Amino acid sequence: MLGPFLLPTECFNFRLIYISLFFRGFPFENFYFLSPFFRATHHSFFSAHAKDLIAPNLAAKYRERFPKVLDPVLEEILKSPDTILYDSEAIIPGYQDSMGDPKGFRPNTIDSSFINLAVPGGWQRLFFRKGLFHFPFGTGGVDLSDNVVKINFWLPPKVQGQVIPVAFWKSYFSRTHWVFPFGTQLGEILFVKFTDGEIAVFEIRLKTRTPTGWTNDVYRPFLNPAELALSIQNEEPQWNSFPSLVKMMQHLSQDVALTPRPLESRYYPGTFSEKKGALDILPDFGQKNLVQKLLTKTPFKKANGTFWRRDNQLTTYAASTHSENSIVPKEYDAGVFPVTDESCNRCHDQGGRQIRDFYDELMLYGELWGEDQIFSWHLFETSAFLKPDGSIKNFNDDNRRIRKDLLDAGLVKQIEPSKQSAHFYKELPKNWKYKPVRKPHD
């Protein structure tokens, strides 16, 4: 069936996805919808797409700071005019409450009094700080960092120049569900913010939707201490004239003991088994301009399957630091996570899980954020649930309204599960359904 139609010239981003997934053992039969016959007979299903969801000047600021990359898939995404940028102001992070009264959509920044008034201490069980759920449902390695800037990107799959929309529908108990079509590429571009306010990319994360879930790729400029040391030598040949760089080079070239960083989910039991992680705390560079050069001039490459450093007992997968002017943000702790699909998808599969599964007394306070194993994206109109000052709006009835800009652009479309084409969509299993792991009230 695939035959000569495997890599049509008008579907370049699909060609790159195809090539990438070939080496991951992806079942090719799911890509037969790329054939000219399929495109010709399903043309009316698709439509054009929208622009960035953030202001043009802000999008331009970010794009001009995108780094060099060695991976052709990522390079095409970053250069594509079809890639949509958004941030936490364009799509306000939030979660659905499909069990309470009234039902609706709640921002993650919900005031603690809305929960604590009925269940004292309930908000503290769910949130680490305002706007951020407790681990493992936070921001993946930057929960403790205060000098990180994050933007998201979304590249919908296209066939014959037309977008395949995100399919959404409403379930019997009022929750709105959605699934991304196969080939969707979503990700995060993470910037470190220096003390002078300038920013530079230090990591890019990419998720690609397939019929079986999401594949994950992480890109970094330096995959181990030796690579960083070599770049320092190339960018600053007189490094041994600077005491801070001498200390850094010693740290990178010598065997050092890693700092243990155990991880466990105290507030959401059963979602993350205790892990004996570790961090490599880099000393202060003492040279902000050098750090900026290192991040902007070094090509980014895949970190999948690599590790940063090992000692006799522990392994860490990325550098960390206590410094504000470094190649990663202050207190960055993603080094505890290996870069694998299993590690990256862990916890994302809990998106939309009812909070009552964890706490009996919070059964009327909705579900965890996320749907289709993606936390950062939703399709609800901000003005319907949030006032300009950030407080909740329209708390007296269901405030879930689908964004008109996404509907008009054909980026989302209401399609009941029974009418969704198996060539484009498949709802992922929710293995946690009907398996509460309730934490005793304390």
Q: Is residue 402 part of a domain?
A: no
Residue 300 lies in a domain: yes
Specify if 47 maps to a domain: no
pLDDT at site 345: 75
pLDDT at site 24: 54
Range of the domain at 261: 222-340
Structurally, the chain folds into a number of domains equal to 1
What does the pLDDT read at residue 104? 87
- Per-residue pLDDT at 435: 60
Residue 229 covered by a domain: yes
Residue 109 counted as domain residue: no
Given a cut of 70, the residues of the chain with pLDDT beneath it are 1-50, 172, 363-364, 394-395, 432-442
Nearest to residue 372, comparing CAs of 162, 182, 188, 88? Answer: 182
| Length of the chain measured in residues | 442
Is residue 283, in this structure, part of any structural domain at all? yes
pLDDT tens string 373-398: 999 999 999 988 887 777 777 667 78
pLDDT (tens digit per residue) in 58-97 = 999 999 999 999 999 999 999 999 999 999 999 999 999 8
Q: What is the pLDDT of residue 431?
A: 76
Question: What CA–CA distances, in Å, run from 43 to 396, 416, 436?
Answer: 42, 19, 44
- What Å distances lie between residue 285 and 232, 313, 328, CA to CA? 10, 27, 11
Rg (CA), the chain: 23
Pairing of strands 199-210, 185-193: antiparallel
| Alpha carbon distance 111, 173 (integer Å) | 25
Terminal-to-terminal C-alpha distance of the chain: 59
Residue 32 in domain: no
Rounded distance between C-alpha atoms, residue 156 and residue 182, angstroms: 9
Q: Which residues contact 259 (CB under 8 A, 6 or more apart)?
A: 278, 279, 280, 281, 320
* pLDDT for the residue numbered 25: 53
Residue 167 sits at the vertex; the CA angle it makes with 58 and 126, to the nearest 5 degrees, is 70
Q: Report the predicted TM-score, pTM, of the whole model to 2 decimal places.
A: 0.86
Asked whether residue 359 is domain-assigned, the answer is no
